[in-house]
Structure 1
Amino acid sequence: MDDSITVIVMPELPVYPPLKFKNAREIRRYNRLVYNVKKTLPIAKRVNAIIAETYEILEQLPDKKAKDKHIREVEKSIRQQYEPEMRKLTYSQGKLLIKLIDRECNQSSYEIVKAFFGPAKAVFYQIFAFTFRASLKKEYKPETDDKLIERVVRQVEAGQL
């Protein structure tokens, strides 16, 4: 006779009340948000993985020269691999990506660039983003401003959308 009990851990599934839209325009905006989240969330998750991997490697390198060399190699690799994909993003997808990177990494894109590439490059990229009316310092606020984005992200992660 077996005295064990089988335990199955089920993933947490978010449950939200149905959305109520005032008009067709709001439905289109919501559908566009879902599309944009599905397109940019995987990129934000890859950015988080790259940052974690790079940080681990940097911790093992002996001196600043080796660390700087590795950072340059990572930057070159990222440019080659992701630049074509980034160029295809729309303006709103780029702004959403900045927020989702903050969500995934718990720090703004500006802070990430500053930590890895230095303050001069961070300022340069911030100015570049500013020319497109965006900001690398934009924070993700799931409790207030980005409530709908958080809802969509959770539903996409759970496979509900």
Structure 2
Amino acid sequence: MKLFFKYMILPGILLFCGMGSVAQVVKTTEMAGEEVHMLESRVINGDTIPHIVLAEVKVVPEWKYRSNRERRKYNRFVKSIKVALPYARVAAHKLEVINANLARIENEKERKEYLKKAEKKLFKEFEKPLRKLTFSQGRMLIKLIDRETGDTSYDLIKEYKGGFSAFFWQSVARLFGSNLKDEYHGDREDHMVEHIIILIDNGML
């Protein structure tokens, strides 16, 4: 992905100097009442040298704002994504579980009963918190569901509830300025959203 770059640090001899960054590979033991720090090592060409496996470093360039209006848009997106992204990822996980269970049910009647119970359970769990979403957060959630599941909200409703239900809820969404058929394109119109998600996932926002 072009939004960040992976840098590899060239191999070298790293001397232990008590740095916090190497704490995870330093073993501490007690010997004669004193702490002894032992660094992992490797033997290369007969020489024993200290060896540390460094974590991958992801560098994400700052977003270059073209105007104050775009800066405000970016900040609004940050707030909406922080609220909507966890729900989208929970939805993706729930969908995986539902699909795995459906794969084990061959009887069509039992499949419908299972989906009905699953829907009731989901409504009980998420109806109240989702009602608290703002319009912008709701529209963002629709986009992120497509990002996390690979299917639009419309397609998911159509697959599990039928074409009529999908048409009905699409009509309702349209009344509130939303579109259940919205797709996510992180490399095009949703480039800013993708940038923010990468920052969030890396603990930078």
TM superposition score normalised by structure 2? 0.71
| Percent sequence identity over aligned pairs | 31
The 8 Å contact of residues 14 and 154 in structure 1, kept in 2 or not, is answered as no
After superposition, where does 1:75-90 map in structure 2 within 5 Å? 75-90=119-134
- For residue 147 of structure 1, what is the aligned residue in structure 2? 191
Q: Which of these residues, 90, 93, 103, is aligned with residue 147 of structure 2? A: 103
Q: Which has the higher contact order (CA 8 A, sep 6+)?
A: 1
Q: Which of these residues, 34, 44, 47, is aligned with residue 78 of structure 2? A: 34
TM-superposition CA deviations, 1:27-74 (whole Å, max 9, x none): 332222111111100000000001000000000013011110010011
The 8 Å contact of residues 14 and 158 in structure 1, kept in 2 or not, is answered as no
1:10: Cα distance to partner?
Answer: 3.4
Structure 1 16/64 Cα, relative in aligned 2: closer, same or farther at 3 Å?
A: same
The 8 Å contact of residues 48 and 101 in structure 1, kept in 2 or not, is answered as yes
Structure 1 55/21 Cα, relative in aligned 2: closer, same or farther at 3 Å?
A: same
- For residue 137 of structure 2, what is the aligned residue in structure 1? 93
Please give the alpha-carbon distance, in whole angstroms, between the structure 2 residues aligned to 1:120 and 1:86. 23
Question: Bigger radius of gyration, 1 or 2?
Answer: 2
- Larger proportion of strand: 2
- For residue 13 of structure 1, what is the aligned residue in structure 2? 58
Q: How many residues align?
A: 160
1:12: Cα distance to partner?
Answer: 6.2
Please give the alpha-carbon distance, in whole angstroms, between the structure 1 residues aligned to 2:106 and 2:197. 39
TM superposition score normalised by structure 1? 0.89
- Larger proportion of helix: 1
The 8 Å contact of residues 152 and 181 in structure 2, kept in 1 or not, is answered as yes
Aligned amino acid, residue 61 of structure 2: Y
Aligned amino acid, residue 19 of structure 1: K
Structure 1 17/27 Cα, relative in aligned 2: closer, same or farther at 3 Å?
A: closer
Structure 1 160/81 Cα, relative in aligned 2: closer, same or farther at 3 Å?
A: same
Q: Which of these residues, 164, 167, 174, is aligned with residue 130 of structure 1? A: 174
Aligned amino acid, residue 123 of structure 2: R
| Structure 1, unaligned runs of 5 or more | none
